[in-house]
Amino acid sequence: MFLVGFDDGRLRVIVHTANLQYGDIYLKTQGAYLQDFFPKRNTTTSISAGKPTYAASDFEDTLVEYLESYGHDKLYNWRENNSKEPKQSLTQHLRNYDFSAASVILIPSCPGYYSMPNKCKRQGYMKLKDAIAQHSNVKDSESPVVCQFSSIGSFSEKWLSDFVACLRQEEPRKHLSKDNVILVFPTTKDIRDSIEGYRGGNSVPARAKNVKKSFLRPLYSKWTSSSTTNINNPYHQPQNVPHIKTYYMLSNDSSNELEWFVLTSHNLSKAAWGEVQKGKYGFCFKILSWELGVYCSSSLLNLGKTSFSIPTIVSANESFPFPIKHDLVTEKCDSSTSKSRQPCRLVISSGVGNLSEEDVEIPLPYTSRPQSYHCKDDPWAVDLQYSSCDSFGRYSASDL
């Protein structure tokens, strides 16, 4: 995450999926959410206390709680050449901004044990479950949940069933199928044929013991698309290893309209999303890693501006890759200004350009209906040696 301040008083919040290293930024497929916020008006409370003059938004509270979990409490002067202003910690300073126009809900994970049923609602997939319940209509959709990620943890079919049930707002199923959930994960061939070859697979650090579980096999779909299914998706770059993580549900199987969409750092694991367990703390929700993502749905598209950016890789003279960033900045619909205006719709970009002015596009870097694995396809595993070499003559991610 980046927090960027501007001379005009704006604060830009950027939640992204890239690590700050060359290969992640220039060679991988990544995603980012960004939105600008301005200071609150008529702020009269103590600056040092960092308390708002009116009710804080959920976005503000979640952002502050997430950063407080890191323990950064050093005081700074945040305005240049303004030594008279009391020093503040970062989280105190953030309380000065108005986040009420946020077009997304923050989905955080912070390490810890959270009591059920209340405190856990602020964390991991419990927070996502609550957001979906309040801001979508998934019970009217028969579409599966699509989970796209760059690593997978060690979990049972029961945990995955519980996770999917929360996202679909239904009771857990004993056995999962592609009617319930689709797992988009690169095959060994996807990694081998990428512009980095097997070495790019180090950013997809799933181990064989986790990816090759029998209950997962029927759920897998490819990261890459065929020339037929990909013809209308200008954002799909199959030669770039995916480091982006996305989760979504379509309104129905025959449209590109989304019930909800999540861009996040969460991989598919208990450590990231959380796990309900009973132990010395009683029934609780356990999380092991720090993660942050954003949830978006049509009902959240209020006034304001938001942007989803997918960096893509293009070759100049087929030798030097460089990023082209697609910024989609869309004014949100205000139903109060026109009785004839239709509600906003959140849709996956098709690249055709035939959207109405109420449509807000998500530039998804893979097909919204990914292809199932063929019988000869295997999920990528970072710890295996392969019999076929990549274009660099390597046989594994660890080869020099």
pLDDT of residue 354: 62
Reported as a pLDDT band with limits 50, 70 and 90, residue 228 is low
Ramachandran sector of residue 364 (left: φ over 0; alpha: ψ -120 to 50; beta: rest)? beta
Reported as a pLDDT band with limits 50, 70 and 90, residue 308 is low
Residues involved in catalysis: 243
- How many whole angstroms separate alpha carbon 282 and alpha carbon 381? 36
- pLDDT, mean over the chain: 84
Reported as a pLDDT band with limits 50, 70 and 90, residue 278 is confident
Strands 32-39 and 305-316, by their bridges, are antiparallel
Q: Is 316 helix (H, G, I), strand (E, B) or coil?
A: strand
pLDDT of residue 138: 86
CA 153 from chain centre, in angstroms, equals 17
Beta carbons within 10 angstroms of residue 380's beta carbon? 27
Reported as a pLDDT band with limits 50, 70 and 90, residue 232 is low
Please check the confidence at residue 188 and state whether its pLDDT lies above 90: yes
Q: pTM, whole model, 2 decimals? A: 0.87
- How many whole angstroms separate alpha carbon 136 and alpha carbon 130? 10
For 79-114, write each residue's pLDDT tens digit: 776 667 789 999 999 999 999 889 899 999 999 999
Q: What percent of the chain has pLDDT over 70?
A: 81
Reported as a pLDDT band with limits 50, 70 and 90, residue 390 is very high
Q: Which of 266-270, 332-336, 347-351, 371-375 has the highest mean pLDDT?
A: 266-270
Reported as a pLDDT band with limits 50, 70 and 90, residue 225 is confident
Is 245 a known ligand-binding residue?
yes
Measured between alpha carbons, how far is residue 336 from residues 79, 101, 104, 296, 342 in Å?
A: 37, 16, 20, 21, 11
Domains along the chain with CATH numbers: 2-92+99-362 (3.30.870.10)
* For residues 127-145, average pLDDT: 90
Q: Between residues 263 and 83, which one has the greater pLDDT?
A: 263
Please check the confidence at residue 374 and state whether its pLDDT lies above 80: yes
pLDDT of residue 84: 74
Q: Which residues of 217-245 are buried (b: 16+ CB within 10 A; e: fewer)?
A: eebbbbbbbeeebbeebebbbbbbbbbbb
Reported as a pLDDT band with limits 50, 70 and 90, residue 399 is confident
* For residues 29-57, average pLDDT: 69
Residue 357 CB contacts under 8 Å (≥ 6 apart), including other chains: none
